[in-house]
Amino acid sequence: MALLIDAPDYPIESVTMCKSHRAEVVRRFSLQLAAGQNKIEIKSLPGTIDTKSIRISGLGHARLHDVVCLLNQRKRPGPTDSSEVIKALRKQRQQVEQEKNSLEHEARILADYSKTLKAEHVSPADVAEFLKSYGGHVKSGIDAVARLEERIQELDKKIFKEEDAASSKQGPMSNGELTVVIAAEFEEEVELKLTYIVTNAFWEPTYELHATTENSKPSTTVVLNYRAVISQSTGEDWTDAKLTLSTSDTSMNTTIPELPSIKIRPKPEARQSMWGIPSAYSAPIKTETFVSLRRGSSSAREREREQAMSTEPASFGGGGDGGKYDLMQEEYGSASAPVPGTVVRDSVLSVSYSVQGKSTIPSDGLSHMVSVAQLEFDCQIRYVAVPRVEAVVYLQCEVKNTSDYRLLSGTVGVILDESFVSQTSILDVPAGDTFTCTLGVDPATKITYSRRTTHTDTKRSLNAFSEARRTTSYTVAISITNKHGFPLEDVLVKEAVPMVDVFDPFDGSGGDNSKARVVLKKPLGLAEAKPGEAFMLDGAKATSDAGTSVGTGIMARWAKADGSGGQGDKDGKFEWFGRLEQGEKRELEAAWDVKSAEDVRWTEVTV
């Protein structure tokens, strides 16, 4: 005879959630095995169970003989198919309803009896005694019925609440049933451990960054609350379970791929047109050349290569240039002879986080937040402004992850002095790396921005080979003032000089005869600066040959490479940086000329 076990009667020991919307669940069952074969049927497992993920352990001296896991269709709890709690409540309601009906029936009998009394058969004294007794019975009956009706209303509320909870419980329309056959040599008590994987379980990291100020000066330490948002609709509640959050992917195929062979085959003949020219190459291939001009010059070797690629004619006779077209066809590939491509797959070791204490996550599909850790970090405060876009100064903190935790990608709520400031996000931050968060606008640091434009035309000379040219001069004036009662140690003001995009491959050299070019005049020294070099506002070099800073105050440099791969000296982005003393006001100036032919109409485009 099989031993029947209802899974919800046994607690869930632990749950490990993965990033693949799956979770590994562990349950334990205390069993008394008899000598010989023991058949155990475990019912009411969740319908999201992966029937191929079942693992049985903890059998002691016994041996596992057979395991079968099936999914059976079920109905959701309803008026005629409810949980044991709802059945018990309905039974109580039925009993109270019967008691109420009994009292009402007694009242009707007593009322019917009173109608049979006749004056000729009953003395006045008996009538008085009857009325006294009748009144008492009626009053007590009414009170008892009222109490029973209140009890019925209470039970109805409880039933409605349980039914609502049962109907909102999310999960599949099926139940898992597991049949296990265990062979034991002798009677033995074992602690059977059942491990299985379920789907419809989700988690993602989220953070709260708490920063404080003292006398308007931001603190150099911040507190990061590391939390996880969890939701699951597996069909079973995780009650008082030990919860572990993992970045592993249980759906990954960990099989080492087979290496396919590579064969070389003759290339199919190109289809000929009526003039004997391969139809695939009958029209020249149009190319677009993108040239960024920096400081009014470009590499001569690059110009020669670009012009050669854009102006060399197509060869119809199949001479030396035919190889060029063959290479192009191999690069694009064809349906008959596919070309092997390079596929990059990036994988990292999984990271697991154990949630302290025990957690309860119901199967309701709602988001539940649990705490992972509270971390305290040192930070560097920076005052950042992009006045061409917005004339305000932002507080930015740069935080180094000195903990043992890997901070996964997620949203960050920034709290400054217990007030919500902003919502931002971070990418993966391994231990030892840094991330930045904006703490809001600094109202005590004032910044203004203005730009002035002038045009100068050069008329055509008597020389027939000259052309009229126009020079457009831009002057940017930025004023920044520190109204704090303390110096600002790290100020960063960003600006950009426009770069020229030349789409004409015959006129992309960037020389004096180009359609347009940009000449940077201020900040002084920046036009000739290399990446990493800095200059004072008067043009003096602020870095030594070894790259160390020798200047003080505000300096200028090309912007550092950003996460998108941009480089300031190639993108035209530069920045002023340094220290701004208490009460100090600095005037920052940038100037450049855009020189072009007089008939060229161009415009600035933000990219």
Which pLDDT does position 298 carry in this prediction?
Answer: 38
| Cis peptide leading into residue 523 (ω within 30°) | yes
> What span, in angstroms and rounded, lies between the C-alpha atoms of 378 and 370?
25
> What span, in angstroms and rounded, lies between the C-alpha atoms of 1 and 336?
64
Instruction: Write the CA distances from 66 to 50, 172, 313, integer angstroms.
Output: 17, 26, 75
Q: Which among 379, 432, 410 has a CA at the least distance from the CA of 208? A: 410
Q: Which among 556, 454, 446, 541 has a CA at the least distance from the CA of 495? A: 556
Specify the residue for token string 């009538």: 127
Q: Which among 369, 362, 367 has a CA at the least distance from the CA of 46? A: 362
- Class of the CATH domain delimited by 3-76+171-199: mainly beta
Q: Report mean pLDDT in 10-residue bins for the chain, 607 residues.
A: 85 91 94 92 91 92 92 57 73 88 82 71 70 76 87 88 64 78 92 94 94 88 93 92 85 72 74 46 36 36 41 37 36 36 41 87 91 92 94 93 90 92 89 90 93 79 62 92 93 90 48 69 89 86 65 84 55 91 93 82 77
3-state SS, residue 276: coil
> What span, in angstroms and rounded, lies between the C-alpha atoms of 354 and 245?
6
Strands 12-17 and 174-184: unpaired
> What span, in angstroms and rounded, lies between the C-alpha atoms of 268 and 257?
31
3-state SS, residue 538: coil
Which pLDDT does position 460 carry in this prediction?
Answer: 55
Contact 58, 193 (CB under 8 A): yes
Contact 82, 91 (CB under 8 A): no
Residue ranges per domain, the chain? 3-76+171-199, 84-168, 202-237+362-441, 445-597
Which pLDDT does position 158 carry in this prediction?
Answer: 86
Q: Which among 416, 433, 364 has a CA at the least distance from the CA of 164? A: 364
Provide the token pair at 463: 């020389």
pLDDT in tens, 403-425: 988 898 999 999 999 999 888 89
Contact 97, 152 (CB under 8 A): yes
Strands 434-441 and 55-57: unpaired
Which pLDDT does position 448 carry in this prediction?
Answer: 95
Q: Which among 481, 484, 504, 503 has a CA at the least distance from the CA of 493? A: 481
Which pLDDT does position 553 carry in this prediction?
Answer: 84
Kind and range of the H or E element at 208?
A: strand 201-211
- List helix spans (H) across 513-593: 568-571
Which pLDDT does position 312 carry in this prediction?
Answer: 39
pLDDT in tens, 57-100: 999 999 999 999 998 875 544 444 446 788 888 888 889 888 88
Q: Please list, in sequence order, all residues whose beta carbon lies within 8 angstroms of the beta carbon of residue 423, skipping any fewer than 6 positions away.
A: 411, 412, 413, 414
Strands 368-386 and 352-354: unpaired
- Burial class of residue 227 in the structure, from the number of CB atoms within 10 Å of its CB (0-12 exposed, 13-18 middle, 19+ buried): buried
**pTM over the 0.85 mark:** no
Q: 335: left (phi > 0), else alpha (psi -120 to 50), else beta? A: alpha
